[in-house]
Chain A
């Protein structure tokens, strides 16, 4: 863990939900975009530069503004007023204009109604 995940993360990683790494990953995963195209797409949707995508200072505000979730740190960074988990993924699907399977499924399950028996 320490030798691999931490070393790779600090040496060359985008930073996940601390920055915009998860958003760029999402475009690679769902659209097969290569890195440059994925970074440009995400930066364009968020109105930031591609350099900003790996900058935690910039991305903290951007993620909060768009409700994209983030690091918790006992509520000091992402607090109770910020979307998190599946809530944030609803916003990510809208901001990036990509289908997110679990969001679609959540919406479907939450909208099911059974007839009330009297």
Chain B
């Protein structure tokens, strides 16, 4: 199940959930349902009693990680080393435990030292990641009025002005950290969980990407989304003439590519009350138009609560491997 519970289902129940999942997605984001051949393939994956499954030999994809290690064993450099040496990650990401650019900015000098040392001892591409996290710029944590307090009071204009101010502050912080970490040797920067605070959050990420790309033409820029749909907390913000509120992964990817990103990570949410088969069918239906039209690599987010992986702190391997294989087989992904 989407909450991680193990349930017993008959093949016909799984088939019905797969069909219901793709229908729910198609209705919600106005996209084609999965074909009968694709649903049959998913049924084959989910009806198997085996504990584990995987893609065909030769169909393997690149695995990137939004933050390597749990920072509870050894040092953060050790985290990167065991992701490289033991988990065989294809790229590595150093992160500050607050995982937002605003707090990371305050300790950038220390982060630079760790990054520089980490680059000496690792071989895989190594970058730095954090979230735009627009909420941190609001009172009481930041200088901008809190739109979550203004909106219930009906202060729409004030709320929008606050979000617009926060966009510029966040974009400036992200660019600052990127500049400093380029000095320390990073090979890519990751703007993870973008859009968490809605359309203004996504705009901050896009503006930061655009500015980083102009300053560092060869730097890899990865963006991961917070959810499947950009919430319209502001409602009127645009990037390059496109209204951000209400965008689904296809248009999110297009704007990320236009801004200068080199890898896009869609995040499709999990419904904890439905089966993993239902959630995977829904995830793939929403992500498919994005993958089909992609002009840059797409790494589908496949962690707790997104991409069909159960919303649980210790997701079961049997569910994760099925979600993983299904995504690669149906979407022809570039990575996860």
Partners in one complex: yes
Least CB distance, A13 to chain B, in whole angstroms: 4
Contact across chains for A22 and B91 when beta carbons are under 8 A apart: yes
Partner of A101, one of B182, B222, B332, B336: B182
Q: Which of B100-108, B197-205, B309-317 contacts A (4 or more CB under 8 A)?
A: B309-317
Q: Kindly specify which of B11-19, B122-130, B240-248 makes contact with the partner chain.
A: B122-130
A59: min CB distance to chain B, Å: 11
Task: Give Cα A6 to B63, complex, Å.
Answer: 11
CB neighbors of A among B56-106 (8 A)? 57-65, 70, 83-85, 87-91
Q: Which residues of B contact A28 (CB under 8 A)?
A: 62, 220, 262-263, 297, 334-335
Checking B87, B119, B125, B333 against A25 with a beta-carbon cut-off of 8 angstroms, the contacting residue is: B125
Asked whether B88 lies within 8 Å of A29 as measured between CB atoms, the reply is: no
- A72–B82 CA distance with the chains assembled, in angstroms: 11
Interface 1/0 per residue, A1-39 and B, CB below 8 Å = 111111111111111111101101110111111110010
Which of A7, A16, A29 is the one whose CB lies under 8 Å from B220?
A29
Assembled-state Cα–Cα distance A11/B55 (Å): 6
- The interface size bin for chain A is 35 or more
Whether, in the assembled complex, B8 has its beta carbon less than 8 Å from a beta carbon of chain A, the answer is no
When the two chains form their complex, are residues A14 and B334 in contact, meaning their CB atoms are under 8 A apart?
no
Which of B137-145, B227-235, B318-326 interfaces with chain A? B318-326
Say whether B62 contacts A71, CB under 8 Å. no
Partner of A51, one of B58, B90, B296: B58
A105 contacts B85, CB within 8 Å? Answer: no
The answer to the question of B219 belonging to the interface, with a C-beta cut-off of 8 Å to chain A, is yes
| A-binding segment of B152-160, B164-172, B185-193, B275-283 | B185-193
Cβ contacts under 8 Å, B55 to chain A: 11-12
User: Chain B residues near A31 (CB, 8 Å)?
Assistant: 262
**Known contacts A10-B52, A29-B262, A34-B297; is A17 also within 8 Å of B188 by CB?**
no
The chain B residue sitting closest to A31, CB to CB, is B262
Is B328 within 8 A of A12, CB to CB? yes
| Whole-angstrom CA separation of A48 from B85 in the bound complex | 23
13 additional contacts, CB 8 Å, given A84-B121, A86-B120, A86-B121? A5-B65, A6-B87, A6-B317, A11-B55, A15-B60, A17-B84, A21-B90, A25-B62, A30-B220, A34-B296, A35-B335, A38-B334, A101-B219
Closest 7 CB pairs of A and B: A102-B185, A29-B220, A16-B88, A21-B90, A69-B123, A7-B320, A22-B124
A residues whose Cβ falls under 8 Å from a Cβ of B: 1-19, 21-22, 24-26, 28-35, 38, 50-51, 54, 68-72, 84-86, 88-89, 92, 99-102, 105-106
